[in-house]
Structure 1
């Protein structure tokens, strides 16, 4: 009997040792610093000027105070094929995120201190319409759209109050 228990413990430990390394955590936080890429991930950064966006917005009477700004889009491709794009303000804080790929990234890590607010928004939305499926949390201080199915997940999250001048939520892709 003891050998069965020992064998079960060994097999469980062996199984966990095979599974745990495949779990990839992003270590980023919306409203905070960019992620530390996990081993095996590739990272590319691209500076973006919102001048064209701001120019189009400035043509409307409501947005004449908009001034062009720049931000950085940092793209991390995980070993599993999931891609996370972080939108960084000039001071280096993450004001937006987008993801797509075969596995859902860890939203707890990505959303950081905003994760409890996101969960509350999801619970409220599901209480109204029920079921599962795509999730949209649209609040004054947090917007998260997430959906997909096994093998194809996508989503965006941003802080409306932290968007640079000339940048809108539709720019987070």
Structure 2
């Protein structure tokens, strides 16, 4: 498949309104509550502990969070990173179909869409990447293999870095 076509498919899957994504319901909202497990999907939860060195001390403090991994009916896996208070601070996905980013990003989706549109206007093509102070999203892939991550930098718990969201 020519790379020009793959980029067009990726661009279309990101820039087209939610009507394209109607076949892949996912109900997580970045900055909100974890998704309800969609019909036909399976979910598992695991706890993680992040460790950060305390400033000026050799002791460490820990903050725990949960990772909810949902395998959608399509085979796409969505991982939600959830604080102990129940707020989704990061999301990662991988699989044969891109999940509904409008649903996953919630109120952050317009900022993502504007960032992608600005990149395209500037002539940048390829993987979708938005890095702003309030939102970071990386989405890439090709037909049958999509992956990405999204997180709110200010919402990362102590000891958690962007590399933990995968």
TM-score, normalised with respect to structure 2: 0.82
Extract structure 1 runs of 4+ deviating beyond 6 A. 63-66
Q: Compare relative contact order (CA 8 Å, sep 6+) and give the higher one, 1 or 2.
A: 2
CA contact (8 A) 1:81 1:102 kept: yes
Q: Post-superposition shift, 1:64?
A: 8.1
Q: What residue number does 2:106 align with?
A: 112
Q: Post-superposition shift, 1:130?
A: 3.4
Q: Post-superposition shift, 1:24?
A: 2.2
Q: Pairwise mapping of residues 54-133 of structure 1 onto structure 2 (< 5 A)?
A: 54-55=52-53, 58=54, 67-131=61-125, 133=126
Q: What residue number does 2:131 align with?
A: 138
Q: Post-superposition shift, 1:67?
A: 3.1
RMSD between aligned residues = 2.2
**Bigger share in strand:** 2
Pair 1:74–1:50, CA change in 2 (3 A) = same
Structure 2 unmatched runs, 5+: 1-19
**Bigger share in helix:** 1
Q: What residue number does 1:167 align with?
A: 160
CA contact (8 A) 1:24 1:38 kept: no
Q: What residue number does 2:41 align with?
A: 41
* SS of match in other structure, 2:141: strand
TM-score, normalised with respect to structure 1: 0.78
Q: Post-superposition shift, 1:42?
A: 0.6
Pair 1:140–1:99, CA change in 2 (3 A) = same
Q: Post-superposition shift, 1:66?
A: 7.3
**Alpha-carbon displacement from aligned partner over 1:9-50 (angstroms, at most 9, x marks no partner):** xxxxxxxxxxx9x81210110000000111111100000000
Q: How many residues are paired up?
A: 146
